[in-house]
Chain A
């Protein structure tokens, strides 16, 4: 499926999709979306990059990419943030909110434009879940792609 149309479309669209996915992950505590949704969008951008290239290119590109390590990092980070809440009150307690740490700003009550430096543990959990989802979905599609393109390179 590596036709000129798909290659050109990917060249134009993939950076936009990746930026949009990062935006959804980072603004998970302000706008609709969050870690799962943003990770799926980011993974779809990476999948577009995978299916628009020939097998050797993809293998060369993703050989050094630590996808499984990123997946494990997401899971362990989620658990670590959860244990951070255990220090103050209960498991997954929002310990960073209103503490002045990174992402620990105070949200004004009522209607406000939304400030990125708020959210407490929500932002960290969004980032970790996003990392996990994008690595997981991308590695699933990558392994299917590598199996399917094993015999013939050009479809």
Chain B
């Protein structure tokens, strides 16, 4: 009984995956591309950078990068605070 149920669930999941793969959009045509087009067309003029990825990461979404940097800062200060006493001079 359990095996039959598992097989049924597996087959249903495989069918679902096939249906999803068939109804996938063609490669390279995302549904909402307005923002991408805006970044690609205006990044050189607004952010004055050839690398559009960097202009997104550091300019258009700079606040997100600030958060990432804060995560790293917190991790480093946590490790140093916890282990500072062990790493010092030998007694």
Contact = CB atoms under 8 A, between A and B. Distances in A.
Interface of A: 28-32, 34-36, 59, 68, 71, 74-75, 78-79, 82, 91-92, 94, 97-98, 104-110, 112, 114, 118-122, 125-126, 129, 132-133, 136-137, 139-140, 142-144, 146-147, 150
B49 interface: yes
A148 B49 CA distance: 44
Interface string B74-90: 01100110011011111
Contacts of B75: 136, 140
A140 B79 contact: yes
B13 interface: no
A136 B58 contact: no
Given A140-B75, A146-B88, 10 more contacts: A34-B54, A75-B73, A97-B46, A105-B48, A109-B44, A120-B49, A122-B58, A129-B69, A132-B72, A147-B86
A94 B69 contact: no
Contact of A94 (B59, B88, B89): B59
Given A32-B51, A112-B50, A143 B65 contact: no
A114 B50 CA distance: 7
B34 interface: no
B65 to A, nearest CB: 7
A82 B66 contact: yes
A30 B51 contact: yes
Nearest to A115: B50
A118 B84 contact: no
Nearest to B62: A92
Interface in B16-58: 44-51, 53-55, 57-58
Contacts of B69: 74-75, 78, 129, 132
Nearest to B68: A36
A107 to B, nearest CB: 5
Nearest to B87: A146
Contacts of A108: 44
